[in-house]
Amino acid sequence: MKVLVTGANGYLGQGIVRAMAAQGMDIVATDFRCDQKIEHVTMVEGNIFELDNPYEYFGQPDVLVHLAWRDGFVHNSNAHLEDLPKHYQFLETMIQAGVKQVAVMGSMHEIGFFEGSIHEDTPCHPMSLYGISKNALRDATELLCKKSGCIFQWLRGYYIVGNSVKGSSIFSKLAAAAQEGKKEFPFTMGQNQYDFLDYEEFCEQVASAVNQSEIDGIINICSGRPEKLADRVERFITENGYDIQLKYGAFPDRAYDSKAIWGDDSKIKKIIENKENA
């Protein structure tokens, strides 16, 4: 099975491609530029939205893993709505051309304000342009897959913990501040509880979900449990040996941030269990 991965040079893409390669997949990875070199992975630079026949261009892949997304951490960027029709057209072209399985990176921000465990059928009421656009693409992609008989997987991501300064998460910003020698980091009160997953485990879960087709639909890429933001960030500082302290209360919580929210991990646990028993 040949797998095409878009957005392969992004913060998530780099780790996911490595995890997929480690599981023995035949991968074509594409992005505007491709900095990494991985054995047995074909890197192709370019703009997927400008190709007339991307299916043929990328060698007729069997599986499409669509990670590409602009301004993912800028939740109210106009780019989300501007790019939405381009994502839809690309996915439609690939599905109609013959891709057998489509896995798209989603986000818990599709849900909007909610408290408790997010299940596959949890209603979505997104409260940012990012969440609105992801939610719309999910609905549209699911329709496309149903019409064509293509396997549909929506990989709903939660909060990723990693010490790379390349990302735009609070953990990446904290890592960058520590590297710059800053002794204080402006922070909220940190009382909200979220579903945190270490970067390597996140990438491994995505690779495992894609590397099978029996379990489909919405798949939460998550830990399955909530943890207080302040506790996880303080632990992150300790784990990495950073000499920096949080300045609590410097920023208010965002209005659309839930007080306690986490993913139902039953599907991803089953996928990993099946993989270990195979």
pLDDT in tens, 110-168: 999 999 999 999 999 999 999 999 999 999 999 999 999 999 999 999 999 987 877 77
pLDDT for res 254: 78
Backbone angles phi, psi at 124, to 5 degrees: -105, 130
Q: With a cut of 50, list the residues of the chain below it in pLDDT.
A: none
Segment 233-251, tens digit of pLDDT: 999 999 999 999 999 999 9
Number of domains forming the structure of the chain: 2
The reply to whether 41 falls in a domain is yes
Domain that includes residue 240, residue range: 161-193+226-247
pLDDT given at position 258: 86
- pLDDT at position 111: 96
- Whether residue 100 is contained in a domain is answered as yes
Q: Is residue 252 included in any domain, yes or no?
A: no
Asked if 123 and 68 sit in the same domain, the reply is yes
Which of 129, 38, 49 minimizes the C-alpha distance to 90?
49
Euclidean distance between CA atoms 20 and 106, whole angstroms: 18
Q: Are residues 106 and 242 in the same domain?
A: no
Count Cα atoms within 13 angstroms, Cβ side, for 98. 11
pLDDT at 268: 98
Q: Are residues 188 and 110 in the same domain?
A: no
* Within a domain: 253: no
Whether 134 and 232 share a structural domain: no
The pTM score is 0.94
Q: Tell me the catalytic residues.
A: 130
Q: Are residues 93 and 73 in the same domain?
A: yes
Beta partners for residue 43, in sequence order: 29
pLDDT score at 166: 72
Burial tier of 124 (Cβ tally within 10 Å: 0-12, 13-18, 19+): middle
